Amino acid sequence: MMLDGVWKQFYDCISNDEQVNHYSNKSICGVNFLYVQPKNLSNEETIKNVFISCSKQFTELYKLIYRIEFVRYDNHHYVYRHRFYVPNKKMFCCGNSCVDCTRFRK
């Protein structure tokens, strides 16, 4: 699956950032939760900006959308819910003369 490679590169990006001391990932019911231990008393907004900068690399490279939500601060770790997903609208013409065909967009 294409998203597996994106997640691996995303995790590499996070681990190489100077704001992050340690991170771990837990997948619960198909939702990824990232547990991040920051360096130098970084706040939740700083860590979220790290996620945004790493995520933007892949949304520009692929047709992906990301969503990041702060969940809680627990035991010296910030917990975030992070998701990459593919847009729901059609990206190309399939040739079946669909009503919402991309050829008819302005």
* Gyration radius of the chain over CA positions: 17
pLDDT digits (tens, 9 = 90+) for 46-74: 888 888 898 888 777 777 888 899 999 88
Query: Do 14 and 23 meet the contact criterion of CB atoms below 8 Å apart?
Result: yes
Residues paired with residue 81 on neighbouring β-strands, in sequence order: 33, 69
- Whether the pLDDT of residue 1 is over 50: the answer is no
- For 16, the 3-state DSSP assignment is coil
Predicted model pTM: 0.72
- Residue 33 Cα to chain centre, angstroms: 11
Look up residue 100 and give its two tokens. Answer: 């919402």
- For 38, the 3-state DSSP assignment is strand
Residue 5: closest CA among 13, 46, 21: 13
pLDDT value of residue 90: 67
Give the chain's mean pLDDT. Answer: 83
Look up residue 35 and give its two tokens. Answer: 């547990």
Question: Residue range 81-106: average pLDDT?
Answer: 76
Query: Do 102 and 91 meet the contact criterion of CB atoms below 8 Å apart?
Result: yes
